[in-house]
Amino acid sequence: MSSPSSIQRMGQLSALVSEKTQILTDFLSTKEGPNASSLSSDELAGLPISPDDSKTFKARKLESAGLGSTDQLSLQVIWEFRIAETVPANDSITYDEISAKVQECTGKVILPFQLRTLLRHAMTNRVFCEPQKNRVAHTQMSRLLATNPKSNAWVGFLTGDLFPAFANVVAAMETWPGSQEPNETGVNIAYNENLPFYDFVQLDKERAVRYSRAIESHGSSEGAEISHGVVDGYPWADLGDGTVVDMGGNFGYVSVAIAEAFPKLKFVVQDLKGMMSAEALASVPQSLRGRVELTIHDFFGVQPVVAKAYLFRHVFHSFSDKYSTKILQSLVPALKRGAKIIINDAVLPEPGTLSYINERSIRTLDVVMLTVTNSRERELDDWKDLFLNADPRYKFLRAWRPTKSQLWFIEAEWDP
Ligand SMILES: C[S@@+](CC[C@H](N)C(=O)[O-])C[C@H]1O[C@@H](n2cnc3c(N)ncnc32)[C@H](O)[C@@H]1O
């Protein structure tokens, strides 16, 4: 629960936003010429405010929106030089001391003046603070980097591994216009590699671990939990004692959670060979081994299991339309009339219909998918088109987002 002071602070902030917005709108409504109070595409690219209009000038923050790359940079430096670990938990430290500690812990050199430049920039994002001139202390955000390995991995993956890839997306688009291939991306140019992203990640053990942890950090975030997202979000009981094939089901943790709640259902989890380690096999509880089977199957090959339903959780967003269509077509030989295709994945909202934070999060994921695999998140109509283009005998049934879940269910049926 929020403390009284953080609630007071939120109240103060919302009053401040309201006050600054009023200053801007009052000012802009007095201006003549092109519609100064609009930011739509055919209006002004910037706000016509000169530094002489000092009150209004200070209220303007919109132009900082293009500066995200420097946010990435200061965070990358913090992560790469393990600066969060050098700052004491409940005390402050000078730039000179941080510099010395970084060298001691990592063997890398970063000079105090460089630290001052980069950390003071990060502080504008509430990462570290300077309670006294030239003394650095933790904020809640910087502390997470030092104390939470999953958050640390998420930051490392985005700012360390993906930063060069983001910078090369345009080059990839120019080199391979309109590509749907998973190995013609910003990652491929940045790292001079010909492999699809998921294979590339496995080349470096440290990066593979970081990626796994980062995904776990993202996957266990609010709204992505298995319990109320998947288990409570679909009418599994309607499938009676049927079999569900969990395609790209990893080590089966989703099937295990559903099987625990629905004791009549059976699950065949399919994934690539590399996923079926002894550790994965051992992760299925003894009591469920008769109903949850982990198997190897590449979903681009013909589906061998005839079942009542086929579940794809978080699979299609990693594949462009070209390959998603192939996955659905490979399923066809196993399908009997009425078989259900159950997709649990993101659905892009109409612009401006979610809260700012939620919209930004899903738009970011969309950009990440473009960057790493040439795939994308999909709007509801895109999902419908995917079924239609794979085979018109797929009949789209419905789509819904369970309460408290970020992922949707999208359901289709085989209707030959
Ligand atoms: C993002 S994970 C989703 C895992 C799981 N469904 C979940 O909800 O957490 C995508 C999964 O697809 C698997 N996968 C990728 N390519 C595959 C293929 N060609 N055949 C089968 N599984 C594949 C990956 O190994 C991975 O486990």
Q: Is the CB of 199 under 6 A from ligand 1?
A: no
- 140 and 167 both lie in a single domain: no
CA-closest residue to ligand 1 atom 13: 248
- Which atom, in ligand 1's list, is nearest to the CA of 274? 25
Q: Which residues of 70-80 are buried (b: 16+ CB within 10 A; e: fewer)?
A: ebbebbbbbbb
Which of 197, 219, 241 delimits the end of a domain? 219
Weakest mean pLDDT among 80-84, 193-197, 222-226: 222-226
- 361 and 408 both lie in a single domain: yes
Residue 9 has pLDDT above 70, yes or no: no
pLDDT more than 90, % of the chain:
67
Q: Is residue 3 part of a domain?
A: no
Q: Is residue 154 part of a domain?
A: no
Kindly give, in sequence order, each residue whose CB lies less than 8 Å from that of residue 232, ignoring residues fewer than 6 positions away.
402
Q: Is residue 99 part of a domain?
A: yes
Q: Is residue 5 part of a domain?
A: no
293 beta partners? 268
- 123 and 233 both lie in a single domain: no
Burial class (CB in 10 A: 0-12, 13-18, 19+), 86: buried
Q: Is residue 1 part of a domain?
A: no
Q: Is the CB of 182 under 6 A from ligand 1?
A: no
- 288 and 203 both lie in a single domain: no
Q: Is residue 379 part of a domain?
A: yes
- 240 and 341 both lie in a single domain: yes
Tell me how far apart the alpha carbons of residues 126 and 139 are, in angstroms, rounded to a whole number: 7
Residue 251, number of CB atoms within 10 A of its CB? 19
The pick from 215, 272, 365, 406 for probing ligand 1's pocket by mutation, whose C-beta has the most ligand atoms within 8 angstroms, reads 272
Q: Is residue 9 part of a domain?
A: no
Note the pLDDT tens digit of each residue in 189-205: 999 999 999 889 888 88
The pick from 195, 217, 250, 329 for probing ligand 1's pocket by mutation, whose C-beta has the most ligand atoms within 8 angstroms, reads 250
Structurally, how many domains does the chain consist of? 4
Give the DSSP per-residue string, 136-200: EE--HHHHHHHH-HHHHHHHIIIIIISHHHHTTHHHHHHHSTT---TTSSHHHHHHT--S-HHHH
Instruction: Tell me what pLDDT residue 1 has.
Output: 41
**Residue 132 structural domain:** 69-147
269 beta partners? 246, 294
Instruction: Tell me what pLDDT residue 66 has.
Output: 60
- 97 and 174 both lie in a single domain: no
Residue 37 has pLDDT above 50, yes or no: no
Instruction: Kindly state the average pLDDT of the residues 265-273.
Output: 93
Residue 58 has pLDDT above 80, yes or no: no
Tell me how far apart the alpha carbons of residues 159 and 163 are, in angstroms, rounded to a whole number: 5
Tell me how far apart the alpha carbons of residues 58 and 77 are, in angstroms, rounded to a whole number: 29
- 211 and 189 both lie in a single domain: yes
Which of 181, 202, 219 delimits the end of a domain? 219
Q: Is the dihedral of CA 315, 316, 317, 319 positive or negative?
A: positive
Report field, pTM of the whole predicted structure over 0.85: no
- 209 and 273 both lie in a single domain: no
Q: Is the CB of 300 under 6 A from ligand 1?
A: yes
Number of helices and strands (H, E) in the chain? Answer: 19, 10
Which of 59, 84, 112 delimits the end of a domain? 59
* Closest among 363, 373, 372 to 321, alpha carbons compared: 373
Note the pLDDT tens digit of each residue in 100-155: 999 999 999 999 999 999 999 999 999 999 999 999 999 999 999 999 998 999 99
Strand arrangement of the beta sheet that strand 243-247 belongs to: 292-296, 266-271, 243-247, 309-313, 340-345, 408-414, 394-400
Q: Is the CB of 248 under 6 A from ligand 1?
A: yes
Q: Which residues of 115-137 are buried (b: 16+ CB within 10 A; e: fewer)?
A: bbebbebbbeeebbbeeeeeebb
Residue 410 Ramachandran class (φ > 0 left, ψ -120 to 50 alpha, else beta): beta
Which amino acid is residue 114, in one-letter code? Answer: Q
- 293 and 357 both lie in a single domain: yes
Q: How many residues does the chain have?
A: 416
Instruction: Kindly state the average pLDDT of the residues 353-358.
Output: 88
CA-closest residue to ligand 1 atom 10: 315
- 165 and 103 both lie in a single domain: no
Q: Is residue 26 part of a domain?
A: yes
Using the mean position of ligand 1's atoms as its centre, give its distance from the Cα of residue 249 in Å. Answer: 6
Note the pLDDT tens digit of each residue in 42-57: 444 445 556 566 666 5
- 334 and 380 both lie in a single domain: yes
* Closest among 298, 334, 313 to 257, alpha carbons compared: 313
Weakest mean pLDDT among 10-19, 68-77, 247-256: 10-19
Q: Which CATH number characterizes residue 309's domain? A: 3.40.50.150
Tell me how far apart the alpha carbons of residues 73 and 357 are, in angstroms, rounded to a whole number: 21
Query: At which residue do the structure tokens 């992922």 appear?
Result: 407
- 286 and 367 both lie in a single domain: yes
